[in-house]
Chain A
Amino acid sequence: GAVVSQHPSRVICKSGTSVKIECRSLDFQATTMFWYRQFPKQSLMLMATSNEGSKATYEQGVEKDKFLINHASLTLSTLTVTSAHPEDSSFYICSASPQTSGGARAQFFGPGTRLTVL
C-alpha cells in the first residue's frame, strides 16, 4: 500500500516552455501533498504544501507564479513549471500523506521527475 506515482519520470524541454508534472496517490486518499526539489547530493527542499480544494502554501523564496500547483482531487496534484529556464533543471519529487485522523502522518514519496531545461 501507500504508493505514489509521478509522471513523467523525465522531461527535457526548451527554455521558455511550460512543463506539467502529475502526482497521484494510487491506493489512498491524500488530504495533503507536498512538492520538493532536490539538487545532486543534497537533501529535499520543500517548495510548497498542497491541500485538496484550496490554494497551495509556498515556502519562502519559491515563486508561486512560476511553480503553479493544483490539487484538484484527493488523489491528484499537479506542478506546472511555467516559462522554464535552465536554472529550473532539477529533480522534482512529490509526496502524499494519507487522510487519517489525529497526529502527524508519514509522507510517501513518488519516484521523482528529472527536469532538464535546454
Chain B
Amino acid sequence: QKEVEQDPGPLSVPEGAIVSLNCTYSNSAFQYFMWYRQYSRKGPELLMYTYSSGNKEDGRFTAQVDKSSKYISLFIRDSQPSDSATYLCAMSPRGNNRLAFGKGNQVVVIP
C-alpha cells in the first residue's frame, strides 16, 4: 500500500462549480498536510499548509484534514479556467521535512 493515495483523474468541471479533491494516507505519524498546484512545465506552488485535523480557508480554497480517517480534502469554490492544473497533496511527520506526495490530480475547468 502506498503511503499516500490520490486519484489522478482527470477531473473536468464547468466554470463556477466546486472542485473537490482528496487524498488518503496510511502513516498515522503524518501531522503536516499540504496542497500544491502545478501548472504544466512549472514547479509546484504551495496552496495550503495545515497542521493536524481541522479546516483551513484561504479565499476560494478550503483544506480539510481528518486524521481519524486519514483523509484530507481540498475544495475550490467558484472554479475558474485558471484553476486548471494538477493538484498534489503532500504530507510529513513532525520533525521531518521530507514530504510524501500523492500522484497528483489533473483538474480541467471548462469555460
Contact = CB atoms under 8 A, between A and B. Distances in A.
Interface of A: 2, 4, 6, 32, 34, 42-44, 46, 49, 91, 93, 95, 97, 103-112, 114
Contacts, number: 60
B43 interface: yes
B91 to A, nearest CB: 9
Interface in B82-99: 88, 90, 92-99
Interface stretch (B11-19, B64-72, B100-108): B100-108
B43 A111 contact: yes
A93 B94 contact: no
Interface in B6-34: 31-32, 34
Given A44-B44, A112-B42, A103 B94 contact: yes
B75 interface: no
Main secondary structure of the interface of A (DSSP, over half): strand
A43 B31 contact: no
18 contacts: A32-B97, A34-B97, A42-B103, A43-B101, A43-B104, A49-B98, A91-B41, A93-B44, A103-B51, A106-B32, A106-B34, A106-B46, A106-B49, A107-B97, A109-B43, A111-B42, A112-B41, A112-B42
Contacts of B34: 106
B49 A43 contact: no
Nearest to B43: A109
Given A49-B97, A109-B43, 7 more contacts: A32-B97, A43-B101, A49-B98, A91-B41, A97-B97, A104-B93, A114-B41
